[in-house]
Structure 1
Amino acid sequence: MIHSGRRAMTGNGATAVIGKDGLDALIRALAAGGRTVIGPTVRDGAIVLTEIAGGDELPYGWGVELEAGHYRLRRRADGAAFAHSAGPQSWKTYLHPQRERQWTADRGADGALVVTEEDAPVPSYAFLGMRPCDLRAIAVQDRVLAGGPHTDSRYRARRERAFLVAVECTEPGATCFCTSMGAGPAVDGGYDLALTEVVDDGGHRFWARAGSEEGAAVLAQLPRRPADPATESTARQRVAGAADRMGRTMPEVDLQLLMRETLEAERWNDVASRCLTCGNCTMACPTCFCTSAEDVTDLTGDHAERWRRWESCFDLEFSHLPDGPVRATGRSRYRQWATHKLGTWYDQFGSSGCVGCGRCIVWCPVGIDITEEAHALNQERAATGGVGVPPREASS
């Protein structure tokens, strides 16, 4: 777990209600404090994450229509800013960039190579509009990239400087299953500020809570009013209602055990017949972290660079050895991804690698659904005498 220089709130944090003007003031206050504010906006037919300068850039009045292999923007009548589900990007794009230079090497006049580690300035980000599932995903990446003996120093530096503004979900998408993974739709710590959007006869407003001392200091700068019981109650009810309207579920079994007991299941052949092994799921996933090294040099041979870039376990060359690839078939590569995400991730990092955001379902070009595959594996296990099927399924 990352421990930044900011101190977490003890006891009940500061709370308030802000309006759209308060949200705009929040963006401007964070930017004035030297932070690069990243938030959602509409671009190229999607809600994407990019640098924003004011509240007018937020996707007010836009929602999304999601299904397996399907994403469309749709207009909303209520003008809500955050009533949309996860888009094609995640915050991983900024904390664990897709391509990053590691070092350079230059040959001096005496012929010796001088290697210089990359030392570019570390940006100070403010992430606005983080879903609870993405907040959980960052906590997962903290354990992976900064929680062990081999810390990624640049990830840690970016993470420690980041200011996190979470927004609770009040309207899950058809591919969301964060409730099954214990990752939403309510926030559970790990933020500097948390917002819950409410649009009703009482107006368009946000119930705001501080989760750190810096968050409380920023909240104190905004136009606000005391949090009233009606707004708080409505906000809580809408988040609780979202938990009951998830578009997808995982089977209510021990997923780690399920993956371990179905390694030879026939279902892996079924999904392999559909999977393109394109790696879209790993690129869209907020927790996938695999990278490879790419060395480049100029034509003189006097200058070389090493770059790190995202890699996918669906790439045939990802596990290449002198005798050939370790996982030569699409079946083996999909199984590796799914069993790691839902099973062996626990062995390595003490948690699941899935937060239920549904991106892998939406951005799969052939609509493969990880929840459908998990249910199918569970049903096959039950049919062959396996254990762990919920009583209501076993008796149906």
Structure 2
Amino acid sequence: MTGDHTTAVIGKDGLETLIRVLATRGRTVIGPTVRDGAIVLAEISGGDDLPYGWGVELEAGHYRLRPREDGAAFAHSAGPQSWKTYLHPQREREWTADRGADGVLTVTEDAAPPPSYAFLGVRPCDLRAIAVQDRVLTGGPHTDSRYRARRERAFLVAVECTEPGATCFCTSMGTGPAVDGGYDLALTEVVDGSGHRFWARAGSDEGESVLAELPRQPADGATAAVAREQVAAAADRMGRTMPEVDLQMLMRETLDAERWNDVASRCLTCGNCTMACPTCFCTSAEDVTDLTGDHAERWRRWESCFDLEFSHLPGGPVRASGRSRYRQWATHKLGIWYDQFGSSGCVGCGRCIVWCPVGIDITEEAHALNDERGNLPREAGGASQGEAPS
């Protein structure tokens, strides 16, 4: 990626052309669309597939579509899926093994060419989540080659947020509502008395090449100003906040807090939060075989730290209680992630709040821990990076 190149204004016809141009370039275009009572990510073939005129009503454990009078396409908050569904699939086969008639075992690695995706409608929080997964899965000595191949072929069309949801807190995490690089094209949707249009900026050479093929007008100051004002206003309308403290230190200093018992009494340890989270990356290997024993496969699938077997050892699970498992997730996401990867593992999208069946709210828990911290003994939570005994 390079810095911003061309800026322009495109209309709904330009968005339609954008989808067609990306498809013509051999890319599978993935974007938001309405299905099964939600705005979900799926392959789209034209502008009519986009959720024009739909918004969402969000709260802890609550998600509903609602119609919008302005006909906006991207005035909705993050849905149940994130882009990791495509870059880091929930389940994929790694290899097969077959025993021939001569008894020789042949192992064949799955080496299908990676898809060439174009992601349309990437929110700023999700753009940051992709950057986080880039660091986790390709930034160290043990690179996930499958992820890297998909990521290198992906074209990202970011859309700035002008309509935050009641569970959004990206401002607290420094991840939105404006985009800050990392995209090929960036759009800001504007619907006002002057019409329905998108302020478009190229962020890479390929993005500039694609933008050049769209019906467009030179970027005018009025549209750019309205776009900036709407994004700035969105920053002041976040539905949630994190406490304005060092979250890494907060996690370290509250390992023995009573609040963990409170949340454990509500948590079902179902793992929904980890499945919906755009940055959670844990996987496990699953080996399967046919009845003859002559054919076997290894599959990689998402795993959750809420699973009792996630930390299983011969002596039993490391984290046997729901308290310890929720604490592991929260302290890793908000604290230890900094030590491992240099940033928070939370981007403030709010998915874990919405898709928790009992409505546990990570921002509420962080505020409660911060409130309790002042009453804890000085030695409490003294462990630096690990966990206190459960």
Q: 1:181 aligned to 2:149?
A: no
Q: Which amino acid aligns with 2:284?
A: S
Q: Which amino acid aligns with 2:183?
A: Y
Q: Which amino acid aligns with 1:338?
A: A
Deviation at 1:201, TM superposition (A): 0.3
Q: Is the 8 A contact 1:9 1:210 kept in 2?
A: no
Q: 1:106 aligned to 2:92?
A: no
Q: Look up the match of 2:352.
A: 360
Superposition pairs of residues 78-157 of structure 1, within 5 angstroms: 78-157=70-149
Q: Which amino acid aligns with 2:362?
A: I
SS of the residue corresponding to residue 172 of structure 2 reads coil
Structure 1 runs, 4 residues or longer, greater than 6 Å off: none
The alignment's C-alpha RMSD in Å is 1.0
Question: In 2, Cα distance between the equivalents of 1:233 and 1:282?
Answer: 38
Q: Look up the match of 2:382.
A: none
TM-score scaled by length of structure 1? 0.95
Superposition pairs of residues 257-276 of structure 1, within 5 angstroms: 257-276=249-268
- Provide the aligned length of Structure 1 versus Structure 2: 379
5+ residue gaps, structure 1: 1-7, 388-396
In structure 2, the CA distance between the partners of 1:81 and 1:386, relative to structure 1 (3 Å rule), is farther
Q: Is the 8 A contact 1:294 1:306 kept in 2?
A: yes
Q: Look up the match of 1:325.
A: 317
Question: In 1, Cα distance between the equivalents of 2:69 and 2:223?
Answer: 20
Deviation at 1:382, TM superposition (A): 1.6
Q: Is the 8 A contact 1:47 1:59 kept in 2?
A: yes
SS of the residue corresponding to residue 108 of structure 2 reads strand
Superposition pairs of residues 216-295 of structure 1, within 5 angstroms: 216-295=208-287
Which region of structure 1 is more displaced relative to structure 2, 88-97 or 111-120? 111-120
Question: In 1, Cα distance between the equivalents of 2:376 and 2:295?
Answer: 60
Question: In 2, Cα distance between the equivalents of 1:148 and 1:360?
Answer: 27
Q: Look up the match of 2:40.
A: 48
Deviation at 1:386, TM superposition (A): 6.7
SS of the residue corresponding to residue 383 of structure 1 reads coil
Q: Which amino acid aligns with 1:151?
A: T
Identify the match of residue 172 of structure 1 among 164, 171, 179.
164
Deviations 1:86-105 (A, max 9, x none): 00000000000000001111
SS of the residue corresponding to residue 49 of structure 1 reads strand
Question: In 1, Cα distance between the equivalents of 2:305 and 2:44?
Answer: 33
Question: In 2, Cα distance between the equivalents of 1:385 and 1:59?
Answer: 52
Deviations 1:250-270 (A, max 9, x none): 000000000000000000000
SS of the residue corresponding to residue 335 of structure 2 reads helix
Q: Look up the match of 2:150.
A: 158
Question: In 2, Cα distance between the equivalents of 1:119 and 1:327?
Answer: 36
Deviation at 1:385, TM superposition (A): 6.4
Q: Which amino acid aligns with 1:9?
A: T
